[in-house]
């Protein structure tokens, strides 16, 4: 009897939770300062406008996303993923096609729009240097590979993703417009020359810690992280020479329970004002072409979209197609 | 319906009772739990490893045929062996000291040991990162003392992983060893001395053999735990001394290649079970807990 009462109570609780769920949606991103900014610039505003609560989850995990879709138990509604993964996952049938009657793509940077994804924000890999810790700061990718003139540890992004391979090829003298298809043999050969001098950073916070402590006085960074360090009063030099852009994308996993809310959320997140607010908070560039006009010009000029003079766009379609092959080789090379 | 499912949850179906060895009745809830949350996932893991992306042993062939992955296997065993050895070398004198210490002092040392065990693993590992890095306290102190000119590389390599893991594993060696050493009758050592044994002989021929079950239990526990360790090697190690757990995480999360990830996980499981079998053969179950 007591068991039955307990069960009844449990059933009631579950159905209550179910009711609450109908008015909620879940947004998953990478945590840290970036997700804080996404919450403030997008989610809180969305809740204020529509009454739908946006629950935050994270970090984004591609294994988890695939498991949810395969098990038909998707608990994420909108997810921030890397641009090349968005293209690949779309082709693998893991994503819902976006509803472009809800999301206005006419104002969005076409580089980051596919049937299944729109740009979330975009960033550049730039050369950062703690000017207090060294006598000379590297200015070009080739300098980061020059251990004779720039001795010391340098830090690069640990995971297989657009950025480091491109940097190695540029340093080796490949012309920016001749990068793709990537010459992996050449890239790894170049990386071999500094392998012992590399400390890998696996997340944005760690990259900042390495640079601020001068554990690695220079390296390749997401531009927004350097902006944040400089704002904290450190003497940070940023070189935008051949900065390499890559984007995050917003996607909806196949079978998401609150698909309609997710589409509306993405529509708001990619609107001009929301993108401008997000950019101002993070130092990453907006993906809505109308956003720069809404921003403080002083802030807008520090963003990647104003650094096109010497800029390389990582080819998301190339990466999507070769993601597995490059990844397997990348991790094998690291482990050697 | 509620009644029926209740009964099913609480008691084993009558047919099963027949082949369950006598006395296992009270263990049924644990067995059901293990079946649901351990056996079933392990079997599905095994299935994935031979079915994805195509049926066959392709994943195992790739895993065991590649020099890179073999290196990771080898490194996993090397690190685990090193951590076990160092833990035993440090743990034995500590356990010995604890066993002969007055009880009040021993309790304080135990409190310190347990407190460190209860502290969050990530926090402890990050603390080592801060201490050991090139600009960290250890290096700064050594440079200020004039002992070294250039900072030593203490993280992102084998040294960092070993220090970090030994620190975490020490209680798992000390506790079983303490249990065994406490039970050694001190008069045996007196008798040895009376019979003319030197301190070295008493250690080698009496103390160590008597403490061997505790060393084996603690050592095996540390070795097996080390085999599957993830956080500490990932944070304190370099990419060229990657351990198996990191490789599995990479397959599952970054490459989303679950076939390979499952195969690697299964190899790790088999290695662990094999070690456990060896331990059982050598020492039996009675001494696994230190006695």
At the topology level, CATH places domain A123-245+309-335 in D-Maltodextrin-Binding Protein; domain 2 (3.40.190)
Convert the pLDDT of each residue in A130-188 to its tens digit.
999 999 999 999 999 999 999 999 999 999 999 999 999 999 999 999 999 999 999 99
Q: Does the distance separating the beta carbons of B240 and A328 come in below 8 Å?
A: no
pLDDT above 70: residue B22: no
On the question of a common fold for A2-121+247-305 and A123-245+309-335, the answer reads yes
Q: What is the mean pLDDT of chain B?
A: 86
Judged by a CB distance cut-off of 8 A, whether residue B44 touches chain A is no
Q: Does the distance separating the beta carbons of B133 and A4 come in below 8 Å?
A: no
For an interface test with B, which of A90, A95, A331, A336 has the most B Cβ atoms less than 10 Å from its Cβ? A331
The answer to whether A137 and A235 are in contact (CB under 8 A) is no
At the topology level, CATH places domain A2-121+247-305 in D-Maltodextrin-Binding Protein; domain 2 (3.40.190)
Percentage of residues of chain A with pLDDT beyond 70:
93
Q: What's the confidence (pLDDT) of residue B18?
A: 52
pLDDT above 80: residue A258: yes
> In chain A, where are the structural domains located?
2-121+247-305, 123-245+309-335
Judged by a CB distance cut-off of 8 A, whether residue A107 touches chain B is no
How much is the ipTM here?
0.76
pLDDT above 60: residue B287: no
Convert the pLDDT of each residue in B225-252 to its tens digit.
999 999 899 889 888 888 999 999 989 8
Show which of residues 3-22 on chain A sit within 8 Å of chain B, judged by CB atoms: 3-4, 7
B190 confidence band (pLDDT: 50, 70, 90): confident
Convert the pLDDT of each residue in A198-244 to its tens digit.
999 988 888 998 999 898 999 999 998 898 899 889 999 999 999 99
Show which of residues 210-249 on chain A sit within 8 Å of chain B, judged by CB atoms: 213-215
Q: What's the confidence (pLDDT) of residue B21?
A: 65
Q: Tell me the chain A residues in contact with residue B140 when contact means C-beta distances shorter than 8 Å.
A: none
What element of type H or E holds A191? helix A184-192
pLDDT above 80: residue A194: yes
Percentage of residues of chain A with pLDDT beyond 90:
78
Q: What's the confidence (pLDDT) of residue A219?
A: 97
Nearest to B240 among A7, A66, A335 (CB): A335
Q: Does the distance separating the beta carbons of B66 and A332 come in below 8 Å?
A: yes
> In chain B, where are the structural domains located?
58-283
Convert the pLDDT of each residue in B135-151 to its tens digit.
889 999 999 999 998 88
Which whole number is the average pLDDT over B113-118?
Answer: 88
Does this model's pTM top 0.90? no
Judged by a CB distance cut-off of 8 A, whether residue A186 touches chain B is no
Judged by a CB distance cut-off of 8 A, whether residue A331 touches chain B is yes
Judged by a CB distance cut-off of 8 A, whether residue A160 touches chain B is yes
For an interface test with A, which of B254, B260, B265 has the most A Cβ atoms less than 10 Å from its Cβ? B254
pLDDT above 80: residue A310: yes
Residues A267 and A271: their CA atoms lie apart, in Å, by: 6
Nearest to B6 among A3, A202, A213 (CB): A3
pLDDT above 90: residue B286: no
Convert the pLDDT of each residue in A65-105 to its tens digit.
999 999 999 999 999 999 999 999 999 999 999 999 999 99
pLDDT above 80: residue A334: yes
Instruction: Calculate how close chain A gets to B76, using CA atoms only, in Å.
Output: 12
Assign domain B58-283 to a CATH class: mainly alpha
Judged by a CB distance cut-off of 8 A, whether residue A200 touches chain B is yes
Judged by a CB distance cut-off of 8 A, whether residue B79 touches chain A is no
Mode of pairing for the β-strands spanning A78-82 and A236-251: antiparallel
């Amino acid at each position: 009897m007591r068991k039955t009462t307990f069960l009844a109570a449990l059933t009631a609780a579950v159905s209550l939770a179910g009711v609450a769920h109908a008015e909620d949606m879940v947004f998953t991103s990478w945590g840290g300062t970036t997700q804080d900014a996404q919450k403030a610039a997008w989610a809180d505003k969305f809740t204020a406008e529509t009454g739908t609560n946006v629950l935050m989850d994270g970090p984004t995990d591609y294994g988890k996303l695939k498991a949810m879709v395969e098990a038909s138990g998707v608990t994420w509604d909108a997810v921030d993923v890397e641009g090349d993964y968005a293209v690949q996952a779309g082709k693998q049938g893991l994503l819902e096609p976006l509803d472009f009657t809800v999301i206005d793509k006419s104002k969005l940077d076409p580089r980051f729009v596919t049937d299944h994804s729109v740009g979330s924000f975009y960033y550049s890999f730039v050369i950062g240097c703690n000017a207090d810790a060294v006598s000379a700061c590297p200015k070009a990718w080739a300098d980061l590979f020059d251990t004779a003139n720039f001795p010391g540890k340098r830090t690069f992004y640990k995971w297989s993703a657009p950025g480091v391979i491109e940097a190695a090829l540029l340093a080796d003298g490949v012309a920016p417009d001749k990068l793709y298809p990537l010459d992996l043999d050449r890239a790894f050969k170049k990386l071999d020359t500094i392998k012992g001098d590399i400390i890998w950073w696996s997340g944005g916070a760690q990259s900042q810690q390495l640079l601020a402590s001068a554990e690695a006085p220079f390296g390749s960074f997401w531009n927004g992280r350097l902006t944040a360090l400089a704002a904290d009063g450190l003497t940070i030099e940023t070189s935008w020479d051949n900065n390499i852009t890559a984007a995050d994308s917003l996607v909806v996993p196949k079978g998401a329970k609150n698909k309609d809310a997710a589409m509306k959320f993405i529509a708001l997140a990619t609107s001009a004002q929301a993108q401008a607010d997000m950019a101002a908070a993070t130092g990453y560039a907006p993906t809505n072409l109308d956003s720069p006009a809404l921003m403080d010009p002083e802030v807008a000029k520090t963003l990647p979209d104003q650094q096109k003079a010497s800029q390389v766009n990582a080819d998301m379609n190339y990466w999507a197609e070769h993601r597995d092959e490059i990844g397997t080789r990348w991790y094998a090379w690291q482990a050697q | 319906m509620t009644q029926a499912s209740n009964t099913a949850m609480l008691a084993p179906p009558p047919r099963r009772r027949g082949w369950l060895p006598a006395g296992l009745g009270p263990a049924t809830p644990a067995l059901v739990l293990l079946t649901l949350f351990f056996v079933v996932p392990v079997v599905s893991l095994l299935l994935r490893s031979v079915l994805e992306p195509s049926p066959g042993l392709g994943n195992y062939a790739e895993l065991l045929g590649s020099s890179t992955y073999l290196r990771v296997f080898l490194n996993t065993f090397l690190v685990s062996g090193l951590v076990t050895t160092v833990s035993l070398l440090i743990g034995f004198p500590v356990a010995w000291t604890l066993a002969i210490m007055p009880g009040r002092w021993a309790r304080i040392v135990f409190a310190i040991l347990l407190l460190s065990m209860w502290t969050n693993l990530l926090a402890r590992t990050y603390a080592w990162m801060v201490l050991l890095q090139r600009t960290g306290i250890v290096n700064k102190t050594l440079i200020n003392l004039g002992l070294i000119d250039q900072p030593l590389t203490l993280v992102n390599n084998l040294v960092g992983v070993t220090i970090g893991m030994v620190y975490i594993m020490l209680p798992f060696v000390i506790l079983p060893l303490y249990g065994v050493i406490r039970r050694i009758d001190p008069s045996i050592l007196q008798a040895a001395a009376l019979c003319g044994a030197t301190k070295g002989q008493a250690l080698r021929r009496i103390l160590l053999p008597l403490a061997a079950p505790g060393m084996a239990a603690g050592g095996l526990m540390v070795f097996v735990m080390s085999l599957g360790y993830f956080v500490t090697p990932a944070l304190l190690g370099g990419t060229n001394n990657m351990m198996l757990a990191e490789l599995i995480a990479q397959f599952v999360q970054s490459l989303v290649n679950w076939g390979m990830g499952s195969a690697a996980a299964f190899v790790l499981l088999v290695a662990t079970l094999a070690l456990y079998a060896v331990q059982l053969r050598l020492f039996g179950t009675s001494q696994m807990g230190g006695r």
